[in-house]
């Protein structure tokens, strides 16, 4: 009987948590119009979530692109097809690696910070204090952070893909002497703007929504103790990574599965 009780309890708990997460998301949307009156709240958060993650994305994108270039030449040269390097680098970056790797980095760098910040605000009763002063923390604290994450990640993912393609150029063309004209022209002839680049951006928009939602909710829902905050931060990174990879599979199957 104990086993069934445990199963039932954990099912009910996770359903209740899912319900709270949905209510939380709806109340963010309801309170979002406040940002139009106070845009500087949003800009400040775009700075701390987007601009401060920018260098990480630059360096990671450059190295991922360079590794793709090196490995691509290594594999393709066995078929004598080094000239297709551009397609390989650009397609894998724009469709998959750009959105996914930048989302994973964003979850680790910005998502965990969001959870810790909101969790600590809750633990030190700053959120309750705001409510006491008739300032809705959802309007003033949560909504700006949600939309800043939602805006920042697609921009970062776009930049990741672009700098990765340049990294692939550096490794493949400058280092290993693949023809530069073949690199760019093969890329241009097989990458489609709507099918590849726009779909990649749609992916990163969905990842941005997932990460911001998970990170803020975990912080808002954390036990207000130091242990609770550390657990919430861990859950943010782990759950975001799971959600990103799961949704990446589903979106890839939807977008590119047909052909």
Partner 1 sequence: MQSKSLEILVGFFVSLTIAALFFLALQVSNFSALQDNGSYTINAHFDNAGGLKAKSLVSMAGVTIGRVTAVSFDAKNYDALITMRIDSRYNNLPSDTSASILTSGLLGDKFVGLTPGGLDEYLQDGDSIELTQSALVLERLISQFLFNSSND
In terms of Cα–Cα distance, which of 255, 221, 236, 232 is closest to 96?
255
The answer to whether the CB of 102 falls within 8 A of the CB of 205 is no
Residue number, 162 or 176, with CB nearest to partner 1: 162
CB of 147 to partner 1, least distance (A): 13
Residues near partner 1 (CB under 8 A)? 40, 43-44, 46-47, 50-51, 54, 90, 94, 155-156, 158-159, 161-163, 165, 184, 187-189, 191-193, 196-197, 259
**Least distance (Å) between residue 94 CB and partner 1:** 7
Rounded Cα gap, residues 253 and 230, in angstroms: 35
3-state class (DSSP) for residue 51: helix
Minimum CB separation of residue 117 from partner 1 in Å reads 17
Q: Which is nearer to partner 1, 7 or 51 (CB)?
A: 51
Where residue 219 falls (left for φ over 0; alpha for ψ -120 to 50; beta otherwise) is alpha
Choice between 156 and 214, CB closer to partner 1: 156
- How many other CB atoms are there within 10 angstroms of residue 50's CB atom? 19
Q: Name the one residue in this structure whose structure tokens are 């990446």.
A: 248
What's the closest the beta carbon of residue 259 comes to partner 1, in angstroms? 8
Shortest distance (Å) from residue 155 CB to partner 1: 4
Q: Identify the CA nearest to 191 among candidates 84, 102, 103, 101.
A: 84
Please report the beta strands in the chain, taking only residues with DSSP state E, as ranges in sequence order: none
């Amino acid at each position: 009987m104990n086993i069934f009780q445990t199963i039932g309890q954990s099912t009910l708990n996770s359903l209740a948590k899912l319900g709270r997460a949905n209510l939380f998301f709806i109340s963010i949307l309801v309170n979002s119009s406040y940002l139009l009156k106070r845009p500087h709240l949003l800009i400040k958060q775009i700075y701390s979530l987007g601009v401060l993650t920018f260098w990480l994305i630059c360096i990671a994108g450059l190295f991922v692109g360079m590794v793709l270039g090196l490995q691509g030449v290594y594999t393709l040269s066995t078929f004598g097809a080094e000239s297709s390097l551009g397609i390989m680098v650009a397609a894998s970056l724009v469709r998959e690696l750009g959105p996914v790797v930048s989302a994973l980095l964003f979850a680790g760098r910005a998502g965990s910070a969001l959870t810790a910040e909101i969790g600590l605000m809750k633990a030190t009763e700053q959120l309750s204090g705001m409510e006491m002063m008739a300032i809705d923390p959802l309007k003033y604290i949560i909504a700006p952070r949600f939309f800043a994450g939602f805006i920042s990640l697609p921009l970062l993912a776009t930049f990741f893909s672009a700098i990765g393609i340049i990294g692939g150029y550096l490794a493949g063309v400058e280092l290993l002497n693949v023809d530069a004209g073949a690199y760019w022209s093969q890329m241009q002839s097989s990458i489609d703007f709507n099918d590849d680049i726009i779909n990649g951006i749609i992916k990163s928009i969905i990842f941005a929504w997932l990460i911001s939602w998970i990170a803020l909710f975990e912080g808002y829902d954390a036990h207000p103790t130091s242990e609770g905050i550390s657990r919430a931060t861990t859950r943010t990174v782990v759950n975001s990574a799971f959600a990103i990879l799961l949704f990446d599979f589903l979106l890839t199957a939807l977008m590119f599965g047909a052909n």
